[in-house]
A and B are shown apart, each in its own frame.
Chain A
Amino acid sequence: DTAVSQTPKYLVTQMGNDKSIKCEQNLGHDTMYWYKQDSKKFLKIMFSYNNKELIINETVPNRFSPKSPDKAHLNLHINSLELGDSAVYFCASSPVGAGNTIYFGEGSWLTVV
């Protein structure tokens, strides 16, 4: 069973469209994250939720809106897609506590054309 699963894995869409990426974890973790990996492989946190509450929101354009309907799900909605949004988006989850491992999903490859 996949611990952190995200869909879709690949997404090609036109500029200006709105799209969503869904994420679910079955590990019982309290904290979930969205990370963005750019074309140079650099990874940067976008958002973090703890028990459905937003706790980290890193200077991300407000076209990006996360939603956590329950602690096992964290979805990412992107409005008015731009070319620069092309990247790999990783969902992740972990228990609370700095010593705990953060587990990542397989990534969603978004290409905006």
Chain B
Amino acid sequence: GDSVTQMEGPVTLSEEAFLTINCTYTATGYPSLFWYVQYPGEGLQLLLKATKADDKGSNKGFEATYRKETTSFHLEKGSVQVSDSAVYFCALRGRRIGNEKLTFGTGTRLTIIP
């Protein structure tokens, strides 16, 4: 079945550091890929997405590129802020009709210290 493997946390960085959170996937066919973010005590928000190979999703300074050859969708940000502290989830959505659910990775908790 479909699965997502993402970098285990927690990750702690200083403000203005470069961030990478690794994500790889296994899926039948060509899924769509997503990053969701969960701030403390809140629900899930879409951060960015990519629906086909070589697409780059971007939002709020975060970027991720859909790499079919390495089955990866790594999240990056050039300069993190304290307000980026949250749990980040990589997810895929399969294309099989009747099974278009999101399959999530385990989440990576990110803490940014001033």
A residues neighboring B (CB under 8 Å): 31, 33, 35, 40-45, 48, 50, 55-56, 90, 92, 94, 96-99, 101-107
Which of A43, A103, A107 contacts B89 (CB under 8 A)?
A43
Could you tell me if A41 and B93 are in contact, using CB atoms closer than 8 angstroms?
no
Which of A41, A103, A106 contacts B42 (CB under 8 A)?
A106
Count chain B CB atoms within 10 A of each CB in A40, A45, A90, A104 and give the residue with the most: A104
Could you tell me if B100 and A98 are in contact, using CB atoms closer than 8 angstroms?
yes
Q: Answer whether residue B32 sits at the interface, using C-beta atoms and an 8 A cutoff.
A: yes
In angstroms, Cα B36 to Cα A102, docked, is 10
Known: A42-B104, A96-B100, A103-B46. 17 other contacts (CB 8 A): A35-B102, A41-B106, A41-B109, A43-B89, A48-B101, A50-B98, A55-B99, A90-B43, A90-B44, A92-B44, A98-B51, A98-B94, A99-B93, A101-B46, A104-B44, A104-B45, A105-B43
Residues on the A chain within 8 Å of B104, using CB? 42-44
- CB-based nearest B residue for A105: B43
